[in-house]
Amino acid sequence: MVLGGLWAALLLPSFLDSRHDAPLTSTKSFDRRIAKLASLRADAADPVELKRRQVIARRRRVMVALIGAALITLLAAIASGSIPLLLVSLAFDGMFVAYLAALNAVQDRPRSRPEPAPVEPVGYGELRLVGEDDLPEAANR
């Protein structure tokens, strides 16, 4: 029994290491990496789009925090029968309404984007023949 345990202790790690480097494992790892790369979208690298997503996420977090604070203070006011907690809850409700009004004002304002500069047609000028006398000295060599 002891001899079998010693053999298992010596042979089991080498067996597990050989299974770890097996082609099946590397194929699965490759598939996982390819799937991860495929899940990345090309537009995720666009800095404008990334900034827009960050702003949306931040606005969502603020809204959830205000709603959560209003609900928690309302439930606490109801449970304890406290008028000051009810006033705090109403204050959070007011902040939530003010935040929604501010978001609505931001979305309604016209976005000022600079107009692209008009592209002027390229003029080619007139054609003229150039003699050797018109060229610089280095070009004649």
Helix (H, G, I), strand (E, B) or coil at 63: helix
Q: Which residues contact 89 (CB under 8 A, 6 or more apart)?
A: 70, 73, 74, 77
Length of the chain: 141
More reliable by pLDDT, 51 or 113: 51
For 96, the token pair is: 């939530």
The string of pLDDT tens digits covering residues 118-138 is 666 655 666 555 556 555 555
Least confident window among 13-27, 75-89, 100-114: 13-27
pTM value is 0.47
**What token pair was written down for 121?**
């047609």
Residue 73: is it exposed, middle or buried by C-beta count within 10 angstroms (0-12/13-18/19+)?
Answer: buried
| Residue 63, C-beta contacts closer than 8 angstroms, at least 6 positions apart | 96, 99, 100
Judge contact between 56 and 68, C-beta under 8 A. no
Cα→Cα distances 124→52, 120, 134, Å: 43, 12, 20
The confidence score (pLDDT) of residue 119 equals 63
Rounded average pLDDT over 98-125: 74
d(CA 37, CA 129): 58
DSSP class of 131: -
